[in-house]
C-alpha cells in the first residue's frame, strides 16, 4: 500500500503525529487510506447534494475495511457562467481539477480514490486525474436533476434559455418567461437532459469507472445514496485486487464510449473530453474513429434537447446498461474488458432489459441508422469540427447560406437581438477557441436566441468555440484550426457562401484555394484578449479543439 510509505516504521513517527492531530486512531492508520474527492459546493445545483453522498461513501469505505479521507475539487456551473466572461473559466477548470487532485493524492499517499463529481468539467477532470495517477479509483456522481413541468409538458434547463429568445421576439409574455424561470430546474442535480454533465456521467459508466446507475439515477433518489455506499465498498475490492484505471480505461473501453456516445446522442463536448481522458490513459483517439463508429452505430435515444425524454425516463427504461445491451445486439461493443465492478462489460449488461422502447429505441427501429454526433471536414475546418447531428432539424442537414461574421459571442448576440439575422444565414462566431477566447466558451445564448426566434430550422451557427449540451439546431463547433492561429475560419468574409452537408461530413467555404491564400497573406493575428493570470498561461499551453484542447507542456 502507498500509505505504508508515509505511516509505517519509526522514521514515520512525525507523519503519525500529524495523523494523531487529525484524530486518527492507530487502527485507522493500519487500514488502506482512501481519498474521497468531494466536489461539494453551494453554487452549482448539481453539487449541492454531494455532501450527503460523501457521507454515504465514507460509510461504505469504513464498512469494507478502509479509512476514508475527504478532500475537495472545484466545479463551475456552466449555466451560471454562460453568456459572460465567466464562461472563459469553464473548460480551463478541467485541467485545474486534474492537477489539484493529482497534487493532493500524490502528496498524501492515498491507496485508492472515490471520485464524487457531477457537472461538466468536473467529471472529465477527475477522469483525467484517475488515468494519470493510475491508482485504484471509482466514480459516483451527484446524479441528474428531475425534469420540470411547464404547461403540462416536461422541460429542462434549455427551455428557460430558449424562452428568453421567445420573449425577446414577442412570442411569449413576461409572465410566461417567469414560469419557465421558476419551473425548469425543480430539484438539485445536473440539468435533466443529455447535456454535457449527464453525457459524461453516462460515459463514465460505459468506460467501466462507475457502477450501474451512476449516469441516470436522479440526484434526489435515495437509490443514489445506496449507490454511493456500494461505491465506497467497491473501492476496497479494487484496492485489494490492485485493479487500476488503466486496466479499465483501455483503447477498447474508449471505443465503447464513442459507440455509446453515438447511440445516446451525447453532448458534442464529449468529443473534447474523451480524447483528453484517453491521452492521460496513454490511448490515442482521433476524431476519424468517431465517424467510423458513427457510421455503423444507430442513434437510439432522443433525450432533451434533441427530444422529449429526460434522464429520469432513461433511468426508468433500464439506464445505460439497457442501452448497451440493446446496441450489443449488433455486436458493436467490446464485452470482454474489465470494469470497476470486478466483472467484464458483458457480465455487467447481461439480461439488462429495455423497459421502454419509446425511450430506448430497439436497434431495428432507431431514430437514425447513424450516430448522434458527426465530425465534419472541409476547407472551413481542415482539421475537423463537430455537430450533434441528432439535434439538427432534418431540413438543416444540408444547407447553403451567406456568412454573417462576428469576432466574439457578444457581437453575434447583438446582431441576433436586433433582428439582423434572417432565415438562410450562417452565423460565424470566431476567436472564441481554446487560445482565442481564451477558454473556448460555450455558445448556448446565441443558439437559444436563434431557436427562440423560430429560426432553428433555417439558420446555422459555426464557431471555433463550443456548445452547451443544452444546445440544439445546426450548431457546429470546435472548428479546427481556430481563428487565433490562422485557421481558415479567420479568413471568412461577410457574405461568403458556406456549404454544410452533415450527412456527408462536409463543410466548406465556397471560395477558391487561391482566394483563401490571398486572404491569408493579408491576415494579421489579433492581440491576445487576456495577458495575465491563469487564462494567459492556459492560452499559451492549450492545443486545438480537435485534439481535445489538452495542454502541451512543451
Does position 25 have pLDDT exceeding 90, yes or no?
yes
Does position 554 have pLDDT exceeding 80, yes or no?
no
- The reported pTM is 0.96
Does position 2 have pLDDT exceeding 90, yes or no?
no
Q: Are 32 and 112 in contact (CB under 8 A)?
A: yes
What pLDDT does 1 receive? Answer: 78
* Sign of the torsion formed by the C-alpha atoms of 230, 236, 239 and 241: negative
Q: Which three cell numbers stand for residue 506?
A: 462536409
158-167, 177-186, 502-511: which has the minimum mean pLDDT? Answer: 158-167
Q: Of residues 158, 199, 267, 468, which has the active-site annotation?
A: 468
Q: How far is CA 3 from the centre of its chain?
A: 33
Binned at pLDDT 50, 70 and 90, residue 282 comes out as very high
Q: Are 108 and 90 in contact (CB under 8 A)?
A: no
> Is residue 162 classed as helix, strand or coil in its secondary structure?
helix
Task: Tell me the pairing of strands 153-155 and 148-150.
Answer: antiparallel
Does position 287 have pLDDT exceeding 90, yes or no?
no
CA-wise closest residue to 507 among 393, 351, 401, 390: 401
pLDDT in tens, 30-78: 999 999 999 999 999 999 999 999 999 999 999 999 999 999 999 999 9
What pLDDT does 480 receive? Answer: 98
Q: What is the mean pLDDT of residues 128-136?
A: 98
Binned at pLDDT 50, 70 and 90, residue 417 comes out as very high
In angstroms, the Cα distances linking 506 to 240, 327, 377, 385 are: 50, 27, 5, 10
DSSP state of 2: T
What pLDDT does 341 receive? Answer: 98
Radius of gyration of the chain (CA): 23
Does position 164 have pLDDT exceeding 80, yes or no?
yes
| 468 catalytically annotated | yes
Amino acid at each position: 500500500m502507498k500509505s505504508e510509505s508515509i505511516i509505517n516504521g519509526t522514521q514515520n513517527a512525525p507523519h503519525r503525529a500529524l495523523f494523531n492531530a487529525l484524530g486518527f486512531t492507530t487502527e485507522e492508520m493500519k487500514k488502506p487510506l482512501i481519498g474521497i474527492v468531494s466536489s461539494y459546493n453551494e453554487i452549482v445545483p448539481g453539487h449541492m447534494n454531494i455532501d450527503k453522498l460523501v457521507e454515504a461513501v465514507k460509510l461504505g469505505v469504513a464498512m469494507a475495511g478502509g479509512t476514508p479521507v475527504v478532500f475537495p475539487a472545484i466545479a463551475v456551473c456552466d449555466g451560471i457562467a454562460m453568456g459572460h466572461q465567466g464562461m472563459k473559466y469553464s473548460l480551463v477548470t478541467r485541467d485545474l481539477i486534474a492537477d489539484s487532485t493529482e497534487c493532493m493524492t500524490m502528496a498524501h499517499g492515498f491507496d485508492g480514490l472515490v471520485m464524487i463529481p457531477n457537472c461538466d468539467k468536473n467529471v472529465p477532470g477527475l477522469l483525467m486525474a484517475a488515468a494519470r495517477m493510475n491508482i485504484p479509483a471509482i466514480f459516483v456522481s451527484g446524479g441528474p436533476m428531475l425534469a420540470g413541468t411547464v404547461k403540462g409538458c416536461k422541460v429542462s434547463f434549455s427551455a428557460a434559455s430558449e424562452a428568453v429568445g421567445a420573449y425577446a421576439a414577442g412570442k411569449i409574455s413576461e409572465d410566461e418567461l417567469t414560469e419557465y424561470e421558476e419551473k425548469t430546474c425543480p430539484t438539485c442535480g445536473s440539468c435533466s437532459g443529455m447535456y454535457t454533465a449527464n453525457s459524461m456521467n453516462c460515459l463514465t459508466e460505459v468506460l467501466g469507472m462507475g457502477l450501474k446507475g451512476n449516469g441516470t439515477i436522479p440526484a434526489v433518489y435515495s437509490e443514489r445514496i445506496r449507490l454511493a455506499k456500494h461505491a465506497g465498498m467497491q473501492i476496497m475490492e479494487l484496492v485489494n485486487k490492485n485493479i487500476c484505471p488503466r486496466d479499465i480505461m483501455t483503447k477498447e473501453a474508449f471505443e465503447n464510449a464513442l459507440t455509446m456516445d453515438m447511440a445516446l446522442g451525447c453532448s458534442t463536448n464529449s468529443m473534447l473530453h474523451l480524447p483528453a481522458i484517453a491521452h492521460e490513459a496513454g490511448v490515442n483517439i482521433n476524431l476519424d474513429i468517431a465517424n467510423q463508429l458513427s457510421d455503423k452505430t444507430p442513434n437510439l435515444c432522443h433525450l432533451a434537447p434533441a427530444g422529449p425524454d429526460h434522464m429520469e425516463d432513461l433511468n426508468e427504461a433500464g439506464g445505460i446498461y439497457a442501452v448497451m445491451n440493446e446496441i450489443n445486439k449488433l455486436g458493436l461493443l467490446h464485452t470482454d474488458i474489465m470494469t470497476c465492478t470486478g466483472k467484464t462489460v458483458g457480465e455487467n449488461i447481461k439480461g439488462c432489459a429495455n423497459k421502454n422502447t419509446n425511450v430506448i429505441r430497439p436497434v431495428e427501429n432507431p431514430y437514425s441508422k447513424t450516430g448522434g454526433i458527426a465530425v465534419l471536414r472541409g476547407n472551413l475546418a481542415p482539421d475537423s469540427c463537430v455537430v450533434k447531428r441528432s439535434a439538427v432539424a432534418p431540413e438543416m442537414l444540408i444547407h447553403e447560406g451567406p456568412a454573417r461574421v462576428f469576432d466574439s459571442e457578444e457581437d453575434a448576440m447583438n446582431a441576433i437581438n436586433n433582428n439582423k439575422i434572417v432565415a438562410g444565414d450562417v452565423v460565424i462566431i470566431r476567436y472564441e477557441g481554446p487560445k482565442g477566447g481564451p477558454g473556448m466558451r460555450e455558445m448556448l445564448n446565441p443558439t437559444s436566441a436563434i431557436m427562440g426566434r423560430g429560426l432553428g430550422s433555417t439558420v446555422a451557427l459555426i464557431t471555433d468555440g463550443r456548445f452547451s449540451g443544452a444546445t440544439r439546431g445546426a450548431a457546429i463547433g470546435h472548428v479546427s484550426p481556430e481563428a487565433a492561429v490562422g485557421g481558415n475560419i479567420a479568413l471568412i468574409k461577410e457574405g461568403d457562401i458556406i456549404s454544410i452537408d452533415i450527412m456527408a461530413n462536409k463543410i466548406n467555404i465556397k471560395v477558391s484555394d487561391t482566394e483563401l491564400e490571398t486572404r491569408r497573406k493579408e491576415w494579421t493575428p489579433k492581440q491576445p484578449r487576456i495577458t495575465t493570470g491563469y487564462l494567459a498561461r492556459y492560452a499559451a499551453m492549450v492545443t486545438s479543439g480537435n485534439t481535445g484542447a489538452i495542454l502541451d507542456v512543451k
